[in-house]
Structure 1
């Protein structure tokens, strides 16, 4: 049987990780891998998570199963974090998932159950795993214009024109904040226009919210999601705790389905439990339990929010510093967009040849489309990167 299988195309980021690891140069810079790093290059365990895990170790008396959709307290806490008072609890179905990727996969599965002829409108560009999962599931994808390579900003006019082609039964996949891979986000007016287009077409929004708290703050980053969920009949929301809680390896996420019709929401809740049972039965609990403790304990929550804000403002400082260094070296403001983007990523606007030159000549590692992880920098490497960018002719 196995003779019918062929090798899968290599993951470009995994390949990049290996190239970086094999590079002997001391001043090499890793801007490829999509994880947060502090100034020492470490992805830390957040203080509040560490405290919650210690308490969990002391208090937990069983490792028995919790439930097909996870701990109800976790789902309640995540709904409150993401949606606030935009919708009351009976209007939201929710299930714990193995990370944000698990939530994305389950959302696509749920949508296909509801509409076997599903089409998913996907921003050009988007997180590559969106496309990989959709291809694996055999779901048709329709790209919509998103990023203007000339200005490194959102092409709002093109995006809205393309989204007008959606129809009832389609999914429109949106990044809730901190767009990956570009770092460019729609403005407030554009989000309102997106709501208007979705209301007119009857398509269902699906929001991938992987970086809440990394952009403009917890509430601000949730703003577009809350607007959409409270304005439209139905909304799918895939949430990751990997970045903002630093629990990458604990695989902690949630899939929410918001709806104005509570009877339909109750049916969705049953289907979320069914899908979890077919895929992995009971979702991971350790990370979810720690996150719940942080969100429901005032002292732990305050410490978590403070540390998350330090991470967010640190990345903003790195953005501003890099834009300033490039302004000084390039003699122009053509890289000013870096200070305007939000989250961990920005697309630099370099050609594949320039990206290769950055890697080979300067030890700077970024994805081939010039997506770079701002959190891979520190104060010492910012001027080194700026000089390499200019020397590479970007």
Structure 2
């Protein structure tokens, strides 16, 4: 049987990680893998999470299952973090999932059950797992223009034109903040325009929110999703806690379903639990409980928000330093967009040949489409990257 298995496509980022490890150069830089790193190259456990873990270790008395949708307190804490008072609690159903990826897949499977012919519109470009999972589920998919490589910003006119071609009932996948892989984001006015065209065209928003707090702040990063929640009849949110709580390996995510019709919340809740049951029965509770403790305890939350602010400020500083270093070397501000981007990633605008040259000659490892993880830098390595970018003729 196994000999008949089809060969699956390789993962470019995993291959890049392996090549980086095998590279003996001391000056090599890994800007490929999508995890946060501090100035020493470590992905630390947040202090607030460590303290919550200590308290949980002292107080936990059982490891029995919690429920198919996870702990309701976790879902409610995530609802308040993401939506605040945009809609009342009785308009939202939440379920814990194994990371943001499982939340995204469960959201797609819910669409399959409710509207199997709905087209899923994704940004060009987007996180590679988005089209991969949509294709694996054999769901219809289209792209809308998003990134303008000439300016390094959002091709908003192209985006609006493409969304105007979507059919009523189609689903539009949007990055809530810190767009992956480009780092280019919608501003408040653009979010309002997107909401208006989606309301007029009767489209369904599906928000992937993986980096809340990494861009401009917890509330600012949630502006788009909150505005849509206020103005749209219904929406789907797939949220991840991997980055903003640093609980990558604990696999903590949440699926939130928002509807102005409170009468559908029961079936939505049952469906979310059913989908969890088919995938892995009960979602893991340890990381979700830590997140809940941090969000619900004023002292732990204050500590967490301070740590998150330090991360956000550090990323912004690295962006500013890199843009400045490139301005000095090129005599132009054509890389100024790097300072305007938000989140961990930016798409540099280099060709694959230039990316290959930076890797082979300078030991700079980034994804082939020139997506780079800003968190892979520190103040001392910014000049190395700037030199490589200029030398490659980007």
Band of TM-score, shorter chain: over 0.9
Match of 2:107 in 1: 107
Q: Secondary structure at the match of 1:69?
A: coil
Match of 2:293 in 1: 293
1:366 and 1:2 mapped to 2: Cα distance?
Answer: 34
CA offset digits 1:85-135 (Å, max 9, x no partner): 001101001100000001000000001100111210000000000011001
Match of 2:97 in 1: 97
Match of 1:225 in 2: 225
Question: Residues 72-151 of structure 1 correspond to what in structure 2 (within 5 A)?
Answer: 72-151=72-151
Q: Secondary structure at the match of 1:372?
A: strand
Question: Residues 204-215 of structure 1 correspond to what in structure 2 (within 5 A)?
Answer: 204-215=204-215
Match of 1:315 in 2: 315
Match of 1:41 in 2: 41
Q: Secondary structure at the match of 1:207?
A: strand
Q: Is the 8 A contact 2:188 2:223 kept in 1?
A: no
**TM-score between both structures, scaled by the size of structure 2:** 0.99
2:231 and 2:283 mapped to 1: Cα distance?
Answer: 30
2:345 and 2:51 mapped to 1: Cα distance?
Answer: 29
Q: Is the 8 A contact 2:119 2:171 kept in 1?
A: yes
How many corresponding residue pairs?
Answer: 394
TM-superposed CA distance for 1:169, in Å, is 2.3
Match of 1:166 in 2: 166
Question: Residues 314-353 of structure 1 correspond to what in structure 2 (within 5 A)?
Answer: 314-353=314-353
1:50 paired to 2:50? yes
Q: Secondary structure at the match of 1:27?
A: coil
Q: Secondary structure at the match of 1:87?
A: coil
**TM-score between both structures, scaled by the size of structure 1:** 0.99
TM-superposed CA distance for 1:248, in Å, is 0.2
Q: Secondary structure at the match of 1:359?
A: helix
CA offset digits 1:237-264 (Å, max 9, x no partner): 0000000000000000000000100011
1:336 and 1:171 mapped to 2: Cα distance?
Answer: 33
TM-superposed CA distance for 1:4, in Å, is 2.1
TM-superposed CA distance for 1:203, in Å, is 1.1
1:251 and 1:165 mapped to 2: Cα distance?
Answer: 36
1:316 and 1:59 mapped to 2: Cα distance?
Answer: 38
1:165 and 1:112 mapped to 2: Cα distance?
Answer: 21
Greater mean alpha carbon deviation, residues 110-119 or residues 77-86:
110-119
TM-superposed CA distance for 1:266, in Å, is 2.3
Match of 2:393 in 1: 393
1:13 and 1:265 mapped to 2: Cα distance?
Answer: 39
Match of 2:187 in 1: 187
TM-superposed CA distance for 1:77, in Å, is 0.4
Match of 2:380 in 1: 380
1:214 and 1:348 mapped to 2: Cα distance?
Answer: 19
1:21 paired to 2:21? yes
2:284 and 2:29 mapped to 1: Cα distance?
Answer: 34
TM-superposed CA distance for 1:182, in Å, is 0.1
CA offset digits 1:150-194 (Å, max 9, x no partner): 111000000011011112221100000000000000111111110
Q: CA RMSD in A?
A: 0.6
Q: Secondary structure at the match of 1:123?
A: strand
CA offset digits 1:40-69 (Å, max 9, x no partner): 000000000000001111100000000010
